[in-house]
Amino acid sequence: MTGNTNRIIKIYKSLLSYFGPQHWWPGETPFEIIIGAILTQNTSWSNVETAIGNLKDHGLLDPQKLNQVSPEMLSELIRPSGYYNQKARKIMNFLEYLWAEYGGDIERMKLKGVDSLRYELLSIKGIGLETADSILLYALGKPVFVVDTYTYRIMYRHGFLSEETSYQDIQELFYRYLAKDLLIYNEYHALLVSCGKNFCKKKEPLCSGCPLKDDLKD
């Protein structure tokens, strides 16, 4: 256990030293972060930024104002994010939940415990594990470790996981070896994304220049 703890922490320190603080999640308000977390499903962040920009241009990055928009108009505004009709429905589902449970007030959401909030978010149609945990961590300030394809790819290639490891098991790996710290969870996930995008690519990983090359097992 000590060996894995040291490796997990060493990976974090190596990534932080190489990439520096990531300042995640990009967004001016918790509501913008939530909308971004939904829109980023199955698309690149640059596409999400365009869609978010459209909503900003129309003054709609506000729960009350967005709740008054028709699904058709919302779909058109978020078209650059891809799967825009589905994502519009997901956003509408979240808004329906937000108003029904919290009167449209995200600050009221933050007062609730993380386990209850996670259960509620996962009950919203279209909100899966990664999206729910992204909302909890980056928008609501809850100490939850977010797992994505970059997390799986890097930890699998470095021998921490089997090919069939579940989302929950990957998450437990970080909970087991890291202190329960909101800032570390935030930074670690963002750093893994940067590493995955720049080095640990899906088809042709660039191991020779990667800041984690010394951790690779023969």
Q: Say if residues 155 and 50 touch (Cβ distance below 8 Å).
A: no
- Amino acid 216: pLDDT: 81
Q: What does pTM read for this prediction?
A: 0.95
Contact 157, 205 (CB under 8 A): yes
How far is Cα 50 from Cα 73, in angstroms, rounded to an integer? 15
pLDDT digits (tens, 9 = 90+) for 169-206: 999 999 999 999 999 999 999 999 999 999 999 999 99
Domain ranges of the chain: 2-23+146-215, 30-139
Give CA–CA dist 193/151, Å, rounded. Answer: 7
Give the pLDDT mean for 150-168. 95
User: For 208, which DSSP code?
Assistant: G
Percent of the chain with pLDDT over 90: 94
CATH assignment of 30-139?
1.10.340.30
CATH number assigned to the domain covering 2-23+146-215:
1.10.1670.10
Distance CA 45, CA 81 (A): 9
Region 154-179: what's the mean pLDDT? 95
